Structure 1
Amino acid sequence: MTEQRKSEQTRARILERGRALVLERGFGGVGLKGILAAADVPKGSFYYYFPSKEAFGCALLEGYVTEYVAALDAIIALPQPAATRMERYFNGALGTEAATMADRCLVVKLAAEIADLSEDMRQILDAGVAQVCTRLSALLREGAEDGSVALQSDPERSGAMLYAQWLGAAIHAKLSRNRLPLEQAMEDTRARFFT
């Protein structure tokens, strides 16, 4: 294995293990020492891979947004009615009793924390949310065309508000440690959008 390949794998491991820690404790609650220990990387090596903790946070969020949008795009590409694809996406957010959007989503975990902490990190998350809203709006338009989703007078606004509803439900679920707000968001989504 080349030295460059080994370095890339180590960096990826730092990001992977760091993501788990950040989801558990928040960005401010995780120190470099903890990240390096979780990734089994020698103390003092962090700055070889990232110039700062903020740069680590940016890389973490860029990777997360890329993966999240790719997963959504895979659902959107399915040859099914738009309502079926939307329901599949939101069922993923609803998750299981053990892990819902409230437990796995870095937007839920970090939006309020990093909004005032790092402008670069805030912009990455904001751009990721905008991509998701754009895709939901496209699904709403497709659903109106295929008859599976009620016609929306402003699909862009409706897509953004739909995502905001789910984000709020996820925050509420996290606070209450109860998945009921997400279940209610699913019921409301079906009632308002699906024909």
Structure 2
Amino acid sequence: MTDQSTVRQHILDAARPVILHKGFTAAGLSEILRCAAVPKGSFYHYFKSKELFGEAMLEAYFSDYLARLDGLLTDTGEPAAQRLMGYWSLWMETQLAEDPVGKCLAVKLSGEVSDLSEAMRCALHKGTSRIVERLSRCIEEGRIDGSVSSSLSSNQLAEALYQMWLGATLLTKVRRDDSALKTAMHSTRAALGLAACRT
């Protein structure tokens, strides 16, 4: 790994499972360095502080996440409601899986770092806002193709659904069962006007 951007990305990729498992504060720099197999000097060459490292990690996470979301929500001939439900189904599947690597970093870090780091809070705000924007666009496409029906505006509905799924994912961690995510799925169908459908 001689290319600087490759080394930087390697550190971010190696650290993400540690952060997802332990949280940002509890994950020590020595453990991150050990997982990335780089010396401390290399870490500080790319990231001047742990806070700036956290900001970069969130930016990289949302960049990957948004690319995957675009793949799920882009119009390929399927009704928009079906694409939206595919996203929520994947969300439920990954958050119930045993592998921590697939877990939502926004859920893991929002409560922990928003009061500790303004830079990380802003990265979270920017990333989650972009997710809601994409959901809103797809909901609007659903209104046009007739697959989505709701009294809320597309943006209001996207905000409400995303907030509900974030909250349901937190409750899943607290309860250690899938009841909150099942409720979110049922409520999402109803909110989209799909209560009687199996998309």
Match of 1:13 in 2: 10
Question: 1:107-146 alignment to 2 at 5 Å?
Answer: 107-146=106-145
Match of 1:93 in 2: 91
Match of 2:48 in 1: 51
Q: Secondary structure at the match of 1:128?
A: helix
CA displacement at 1:137 relative to structure 2: 1.3
Question: Is there any run of 5+ residues in structure 2 with no aligned partner, and where?
Answer: 195-199
Question: 1:1-195 alignment to 2 at 5 Å?
Answer: 3=2, 5=3, 7-79=4-76, 80-95=78-93, 97-99=96-98, 104-195=103-194
Q: Secondary structure at the match of 1:95?
A: helix
CA displacement at 1:76 relative to structure 2: 1.5
TM-score of the superposed pair, with normalisation by structure 1: 0.91
Cα separation, 1, equivalents of 2:102 and 2:8? 24
Cα separation, 1, equivalents of 2:99 and 2:188? 17
Cα separation, 2, equivalents of 1:193 and 1:100? 30
Percent identity of paired positions between Structure 1 and Structure 2: 41
The residue type paired with residue 158 of structure 1 is L
The residue type paired with residue 54 of structure 1 is E
**1:83-118 CA distances to partner (integer Å, 9 max, x unpaired)?**
000011101100154249996101110001111110
**1:15-67 CA distances to partner (integer Å, 9 max, x unpaired)?**
01111100000000111111000111124432122111011101100000111
CA change 1:43–1:151 in 2 (3 A) is closer
Question: Is there any run of 5+ residues in structure 1 with no aligned partner, and where?
Answer: none
CA contact (8 A) 2:17 2:101 kept: no
CA contact (8 A) 1:58 1:121 kept: yes
Runs of 4+ aligned structure 1 residues displaced above 4 Å come to 99-103
CA contact (8 A) 2:150 2:191 kept: no
TM-score of the superposed pair, with normalisation by structure 2: 0.89
The residue type paired with residue 151 of structure 2 is Q
Cα separation, 2, equivalents of 1:101 and 1:164? 21
Cα separation, 1, equivalents of 2:56 and 2:79? 35
Cα separation, 1, equivalents of 2:82 and 2:112? 34
Cα separation, 2, equivalents of 1:108 and 1:182? 14
Q: Secondary structure at the match of 1:65?
A: helix
CA displacement at 1:152 relative to structure 2: 3.5
Higher deviation after alignment, 94-103 or 57-66: 94-103
